[in-house]
Amino acid sequence: MFATNLRRLRQKRRFSQEELSRVASINRTYISKLENGTFYVGLELVEKLADALHVDPREFLIHSQKRK
């Protein structure tokens, strides 16, 4: 769920992975692995990502509704 929401929120903000990595001060490769569900994310990184995307950290954990 985190990976899907991270990708959705990043794309909604129209950030590339590289741009998000720069704004959040997180390695781009790591962001890619988070979006692919390869790595788990710690609370410190959740906060950095939420700040960079201007969202509440809970947004990463909300089950998104299916589009009709």
Given this model, what pLDDT does residue 63 score?
A: 83
User: Mapping DSSP to helix (H, G, I), strand (E, B) and coil, where does residue 64 land?
Assistant: coil
Given this model, what pLDDT does residue 48 score?
A: 96
Structural domains of the chain sorted by starting position, each given as residue range(s) with its CATH number in brackets: 2-60 (1.10.260.40)
Given this model, what pLDDT does residue 65 score?
A: 62
The CA-atom distances, in angstroms, between 15 and each of 9, 10, 22, 68 are: 9, 5, 10, 25
Given this model, what pLDDT does residue 67 score?
A: 45
User: pLDDT by residue (tens digit) across 10-67?
Assistant: 999 999 999 999 999 999 999 999 999 998 889 999 999 999 999 999 999 988 665 4
Angle (nearest 5°) at CA 8 between 7 and 10:
65
